[in-house]
Amino acid sequence: MARALPAALLFALPVTALGGVLLHRMRRRSVTAAMTTLALVPLVAALVGVVAVSGFMYTPQLAGTVAVVAVVAVVTVPVAALLGRGFARDALWQREAREAERRAEAARRELVGWMSHDLRSPMAGIRGMVDALADGVVHRPDEVADYLARVRRETIRLAAMVDDLFQLSRATSAALRLDLVPLALGEVVSDAVAAEAAAASAAGVEVVADEPERWPTVGGSDTELTRVVRNLLSNAVRHTPAGARVALSAGTTGTEAWLRVDDACGGIPEADLDRIFDVGYRGAAARTPGTDSGAGLGLAIARALTEAHGGRLSVVNSGPGCRFELTLLLRRPARAPSRTP
């Protein structure tokens, strides 16, 4: 018995050391494989030690030990594999959560920087024009009228930026709950087209809709869904050159309805397609001074409100420009109340 223990240790220790080396090499690889190895190493080491003590000869004690090790392995190895998969999923979730947090923080810093610049510019212009009016530097009636008109335009721009920030905060709030009712998609689009008609006319852009009276009915909140369509339409008109057109079409696929807005913006670089709905993102061209590009929140608001509807919003390059596609669930039209004779 005194010699059996050193013999067992002599054979078990190399197995344990080999297992430690394997665990060290797998620490940055598969967690499942590492956990399985961790469960197998002591079992294999114990089995090798018992075999060494038996003198590599069959004995009833050896058979019993092998049976016990096999039973323990049947139980512990699957459990270790399951634990490894669970740890791997948790680690992946934590990495994704950290990456999402980093992206959100980067977007927040970018938004604050852009909004600070965009708010500072009109405010500086308004202050300069107001000072000129107050100091009497501008006193001719036509000049005063021109300065007041410019102050009014800049004030409208500021109000629009503040409204976009409010709408974005509301759209991305976890507490936002929309009351979805059957809405005729054609009527929603007609309202949005009417609201953007003046801007489209000023830009020399034609807006056309393909038989909106035949478009499907979807589940939505009237105000929020109209906001989504207006933001998509406004974005399309802003980036479409004069003389071109923005086309709207709709249809159904299975249990879903889709609305497409096709513009003639010239396309979006492939590297920017994944960022087009990011908060504050406008691309390099939109940063040109003097360009009325808005606060860069319209598409982010549209996506957030679309997701609040349980829908999807995507963009691809198509033809002379881009195609934004809004997907929502179909709903049956609301029945008119029956009238008793």
pLDDT the model gives residue 11: 53
**Residues of 247-286 as b/e, b for ≥16 C-beta within 10 angstroms?**
bbbbeeeeeebbbbbbbbbebbeeeeeeebbbbbbbeeee
Q: Which tens digits make up the pLDDT trace of 207-240?
A: 998 888 889 999 988 888 998 999 999 989 999 9
Q: Which tens digits make up the pLDDT trace of 124-171?
A: 888 888 988 888 888 888 888 988 988 888 888 788 777 777 777 777
**Residues of 219-234 as b/e, b for ≥16 C-beta within 10 angstroms?**
bbbeebbbbbbbbbbb
Cβ neighbors of 153 (< 8 A, separation 6 or more) are none
**What gap in Å lies between CA 36 and CA 40, rounded to an integer?**
6
Tens-digit pLDDT string for the chain (341 aa)? 444 445 555 555 666 666 666 666 666 666 666 677 666 667 676 666 666 666 656 666 666 666 766 766 666 767 767 776 776 677 677 777 778 777 767 766 766 666 676 677 778 888 888 988 888 888 888 888 988 988 888 888 788 777 777 777 777 666 677 788 999 999 999 988 888 888 899 899 999 988 888 899 999 888 889 989 999 999 899 999 999 999 999 999 989 999 999 999 888 888 888 788 877 666 544 433 344 445 567 888 888 889 888 899 999 998 889 999 999 999 876 554 444 44
* Statement: 178-341 belongs to CATH 3.40.50.920: no
Q: What is the DSSP letter of 159?
A: H
What is the model's pTM? 0.59
Count H helices and E strands in the chain, helices first. Answer: 9, 7
